[in-house]
Structure formats: C-alpha cells, structure tokens
Amino acid sequence: MRLLVTGGAGYIGSHTCKALAAHGHLPIAYDNLVYGNPWAVRWGPLEIGDIADRHRLDQVIRQYRPEGVIHFAAYAYVGESVKDPGKYYRNNVAGSLTLLEAMRDHGIPYLVFSSTCATYGVPEQIPIPETHPQRPINPYGQSKLMVEQMLRDFQLAYGIQSVSLRYFNAAGADPDGEIGEAHDPETHLIPLALEVAAGQRSHLTIFGDDYDTPDGTCIRDFIHVADLAQAHVLALEALAAGKPLQPAYNLGNGQGFSVREVIATAEAVTGKQIPVQVGARRPGDPPRLVGDATAISRDLNWRPRYTNLAEILQTAWCWQQKRPYFQRPRC
C-alpha cells in the first residue's frame, strides 16, 4: 500500500517508515520539519508540509493517492503544553481535523493514530487497561483524547476506519543503527542520561524525588521504538483487511522502571557515571504509568521483542555513539 505518514521524519514516525518498507509498503513521509529530521527519511519520499495546510495536503494526496494514513504529527512536550496550551490545541486538534477532512474528501479509508497513555491521567490501577477512565491532567493528553473522539465521530459519519494506539514511553533506537532519537530540545530521560554518559552534558536533572514510589522518582513503562513501529504496521494492515478491532490499544511492556532505576541501568550499559541533580517536579507528571497491552497481543498477535531495559538502552547507546559528535562509532 501507499501510506501517508504524517510526522514521518520524527523519532517514531521514521522507525515506522522503515518497518512499513520492510513489509512491502511505500511510506510517504509528510512533515513540517519543526521537530523532524530529513536524514531520518530513507525508505520513501519526503514531502514537506503542515497538517494544518489543507492546500498542501491536497497536493500531496493527489500526487501519491495514499490508501491509508498513519498520523504521528503532534507536539508532545507535556510541560510545554501546560505553559502554552494553545499551541497544542491548534496543532494537535485543529491540525488533525484538517487531516481528517482531507481524508474524507479524498476517500482515504484507514487511519492509525499515535495516541498516548497521557489520556488516562493519574491511574486508578496499575497496569492500566484500555477501559480505564480517561481524565488527562495536561493539555497534551487532553489534545490526544479530543482526536480520539474525532476519530469515533468521523467513523460514524463517513466510514473512516481508525484505531488509536496509546503508548507509554518510547525508547531505544533502530537495532541496525540507521536512525534513532534526536530531539531539539531533548527532554526524554534515556537520551539525556546517555548524553551525560557521553560527556555532552555535565549532569542529569531528576524532576522530583518525593513521589509516592519506592525511591521517590516517577515510574514509567518503556517500550522500544521498533516494537512501536511494528504495532503500527500490524494495525494498519488489520484495518485494510477488514479485521474488527477495538477503537484503541495500549502499547507497553507491562513493567515499570523508576527514573533512578533507568539511570543505574544506563551506568551499567555505558560503564560511565551519570551525575544527577534533583529539581522540582514538572507540572502534569503522574507518579506511575504502566500499561496493560494484553488486548493488542490477543487481537494482532503483537508482542514486544525488547522487554529488557538494558537491551533497550544498549540500542540507544549504540545510536548515541554514531551521532556526529563522536569521532568513531563503537557499535
């Protein structure tokens, strides 16, 4: 299939493009390059454009005639969403509406949506099932929940078949070392810790060590980016095959690791010390987020290949060493 991948130059989008190509599909990366990287687009064409630009969307859709869409294009910084909610509602919600209307008008029948565990808010139970109440505590999570509702409404009104994948903390890098995580600014724990190990930063800041967890730091469920990419491919293929699916699925490993546990594992993987400083809590951070992914395992036979935190970190460390500020790759 020819598939439009919005945000296809981003971290998860580019890994999904590689997975799509491995399954025989043509991924058309559509990205405004605000956070995406052109060098990450290697398995299909790159078309520069914004999801809010209906004229540009129409041009690209007419040129390639995609048979489905995988939608990653969103702003995804929780703290920033609290400080600047308008930016998130304008891009994540209004931009997604423009995309959906373009799909409707061009007759594109399938969409896989990159959603998030942030739609659940502070969990009432761990691990979190898909049936858990959705009560986001930040505008980022709220914006994703709004898009999930739009997808249900567009399915009822126009027959656009969709599935939302609510994933937890994406981590790691392409096992072949071809692409990896490279945000500007970087805010994710694992790449920040590895940059400290590599001598690119003096220390790592832990945002709050007084949470109601065993060591006082937040607990998260880390899922390898290649496993996330595979799930998107399986979901799109299932939609195209007419397989009945739930409206949404969790993607996670079903186990949680604290910030301090991640740092200790990063030190073991790299053989380097990672100095830390403790800062204030960030607004919008729940203490624990761990997912129950049994539903997608049952319905799509999806299971994460990378379940060991050290293994996930090793792929990320190999990628860090291949980036330009290293003279010689060591993996």
Residues 132, 182: contact at Cβ < 8 Å? no
Q: Where are the beta strands (DSSP E) in 153-203?
A: 161-167, 169-171
φ and ψ of 160, to 5 deg: -70, 115
Residue 273 Cα distances to 104, 195, 276, angstroms: 53, 11, 10
Would you state the structure tokens that stand for residue 110, as one six-digit string?
A: 């399938």
CA distance 18 to 5: 11
CA distance 128 to 132: 6
24 Cβ contact list (under 8 Å, min separation 6): none
Q: Where are the beta strands (DSSP E) in 62-220?
A: 68-71, 110-116, 161-167, 169-171, 204-207, 219-220
**CA-wise closest residue to 103 among 147, 67, 55, 139:** 67
- DSSP summary character for residue 92: I
Please say if 140 is a catalytic residue: yes
**CA-wise closest residue to 163 among 221, 91, 237:** 237
10 Cβ contact list (under 8 Å, min separation 6): 31, 35, 36, 37, 40, 72, 73
Which of the following is catalytic: 120, 140, 167, 306? 140
The gap from C-alpha 76 to its chain's centroid, in whole angstroms, comes to 9
Q: How many helices (H) and strands (E) does the chain have?
A: 11, 14
Would you state the structure tokens that stand for residue 18, as one six-digit string?
A: 């590689």
Catalytic residues: 140
